[in-house]
Amino acid sequence: MIVLDASVLIAQLDQDDALHAAARQRLRTVAKQRFGASTITIAELLVGPTSSGTLRNARTALRALRVEELPLPPHAAERLAALRSETRLKMPDCCVLLAAEEANGGVLTFDERLASAAAERGLAA
């Protein structure tokens, strides 16, 4: 499974995003694999569409990509705290790492710090 970060999902869903073409290309490269995203990542992604009244379109796009929502596992708080302490990443990025660990998957992101942390943990896409 490929765990998608908000940076990739936002770029994919927004044709005006500077990284839209790169997101499309990266997603095509791994299209044969299943896609997932942390519940927190999906919530982060949906803030813009909720504000602009395009939530329905965003949900349709997520379904078209077949992005599986990956809920936080039981006792996630301690694991997230450890990830935050070890990596110094922001909490949403730690949620991406935790989702990838839980799914035995790789992380697809445009965020260099998150990509580096994922690679260090053997979670590169």
Pinpoint the alpha helices (H) of 5-111. 6-13, 20-29, 39-52, 55-65, 76-87, 91-103
pLDDT at 47: 95
Q: What's the token pair of residue 77?
A: 């708080």
In this predicted structure, what is the pLDDT of residue 9? 96
Domains of the chain: 2-120 (3.40.50.1010)
10 Å CB burial of residue 18 (0-12, 13-18, 19+) is exposed
Chunked mean pLDDT (size 10), the chain, 125 residues: 97 94 96 96 96 96 96 95 97 98 97 97 93
User: What local confidence, expressed as pLDDT, does residue 125 receive?
Assistant: 87
- Report the DSSP pairing between strands 67-70 and 106-108: unpaired
Q: Which residue has the tokens 């590169």?
A: 124
